[in-house]
Structure 1
């Protein structure tokens, strides 16, 4: 499953994503990974949640981010949920170019039984690509 949360910058998406991850850590048996472009949310997450910042990695495009996610999943087969905070901040590409990434995330989700929760900064819901709208919570 993929679930996308979209709203304008500064609307509280990160806080809600952190709250969701923290609440899920008590409910699921597997592991949770939280990915962000900086280390600010690290101390807001429960210690059971693996926090990873992308600051030290050179993720240039959606393809490299997909490889990054595959590497994370290959290192831990017990991951049940991955939270991605600010996809637009992690990857510099345009949102319409992310169609292939979301197609591959669908496949990863099914193959490895992992749920993805993704925050996206978007000022106007109507301008969001159709392939993402089907995942919006």
Structure 2
């Protein structure tokens, strides 16, 4: 499953994502990963959630982000959920070019039974291929 939250900056998307991750951490038997572009929310997350600051890695396009996700999943087969806070902050490419990344999200979700929760800032028009995932 892929769920995308789109709204303007400052609308509370990150707080909602943190709340969801913390709530699901109490219910899930598997592991949760939270990916962000800085360390600000690290201490707001339950300590059982694996926090990753994506800027520690040289992720500069959607292909490298896919490889990054594959590395995370290959290291831990018990991951049930991945939260990505600010996809457009992590990857500085045009969101219109992310169609193949969302295809890969679908493939990973089905093959590895992983749910994705993704925050996207709605600074520009949301591409059509993302609208089917918007909560």
Aligned mates of 1:132, 1:55 — CA distance in 2 = 24
The partner residue of 1:130 within 111, 119, 128 is 128
Tell me what 1:121 maps to. Answer: 121
Structure 1, unaligned stretches of length 5 or more?
A: none
Deviation at 1:34, TM superposition (A): 0.2
Partner deviation per Cα, 1:20-42 (whole Å, 9 max, x = no partner): 00000011110000000101000
* Normalised TM-score (structure 2): 0.98
Tell me what 2:27 maps to. Answer: 27
- Runs (4+) of structure 1 exceeding 6 A deviation are none
Partner deviation per Cα, 1:86-130 (whole Å, 9 max, x = no partner): 000000100110000000110000000000000000146xx2111
Deviation at 1:47, TM superposition (A): 0.5
SS in 1 for 2:14: helix
* Normalised TM-score (structure 1): 0.97
Deviation at 1:68, TM superposition (A): 0.2
Partner deviation per Cα, 1:50-82 (whole Å, 9 max, x = no partner): 000012111010000000000000000000000
Aligned mates of 2:56, 2:50 — CA distance in 1 = 16
Aligned mates of 1:42, 1:87 — CA distance in 2 = 17
Q: How many residues align?
A: 135
Tell me what 2:8 maps to. Answer: 8
Cα RMSD of the aligned pairs, angstroms, is 0.7
Tell me what 1:85 maps to. Answer: 85
Structure 2, unaligned stretches of length 5 or more?
A: none
Tell me what 2:54 maps to. Answer: 54
